[in-house]
Copies of this chain bind each other. A is one copy, B any other.
Amino acid sequence: MAEDGRPASAADSAYLTLRGDILSGDLPADERLTELGLAERLGLSRTPVREAVKRLLIEGFLTRAPGEGLRVTALQADEVEQIFRIRLMLESYGARRAAEFATEAEIAELFRLAEEISARTPARSDADYDAMTEANAAFHRTIMQAARSPRLGSMLSLAVNLGLVLRTYRMYSAQDMTRQARHHHDIAEAIAARDPEWAEAAMSHHVLAAAAIARARHGQGGSRPAA
């Protein structure tokens, strides 16, 4: 929805800004908000803000209590685990389907992206980090596209959004990074081999490894303190 290169609409940028503010803690949990207040904060009218708020409500970042107004949802203790579990299910299924339906062009793209990630590993500069993050996102996006299931794609993008904060490679050790980079090659090969089982297992492995890293870095809680 905000994945293309066109200039983001005001509604999209409002959504991205607010989500970022929530994840970064700039808008603290349990913060009481109003649409008008957010509109002024962003320098927009209420219309695009309303759209963004609606979306954030659907995605669970915000809560609208009947008499309590709008609130930032507090992350639960095991939220990170849940997100990874959901990602695990959806992405593994996506990889399975990609092995069945990917075009040759998509497979080539997967190998290209895996190569690009490897070339930057281990990251040494901000540019490396950014490029890796982008290539990684593109890799997963390509797989979902190859899965030929728009529904699955939209659901996953929701789950990934939730885990966005975890997608930064900056918390990875050099060893972590090389391992994850290898995984991308494995996944691409499994899909190229048209082997759904292998692709599913490779993706499961990949996501579980990422979960383990996140768990180790974050301890039990999320990146945003629960209180």
Contact = CB atoms under 8 A, between A and B. Distances in A.
Interface in A129-179: 148-152, 154-155, 158-159, 162
A60 interface: yes
Give the oligomeric copy count: 2
A120 to B, nearest CB: 31
A73 B150 contact: yes
Contacts of A93: 85-86, 89
Interface in A69-123: 73, 76, 79, 82-83, 85-86, 89-90, 93
B151 A60 contact: yes
A149 B90 contact: no
A148 B154 CA distance: 22
A54 interface: yes
A150 B60 contact: yes
A76 B148 contact: yes
B149 A82 contact: yes
A35 interface: no
* Dominant secondary structure at the A interface: helix
A26 interface: no
A59 B154 contact: yes
Contacts of A54: 51, 54-55
Contacts of A90: 86, 89
Contacts of A159: 151, 155
A83 B162 contact: no
Contacts of A73: 150
A8 interface: no
Nearest to A92: B89
B58 A1 contact: yes
Interface in A191-210: none
7 contacts: A1-B57, A54-B55, A76-B148, A82-B149, A89-B89, A151-B162, A158-B158
Interface of A: 1, 51, 54-55, 57-60, 73, 76, 79, 82-83, 85-86, 89-90, 93, 148-152, 154-155, 158-159, 162
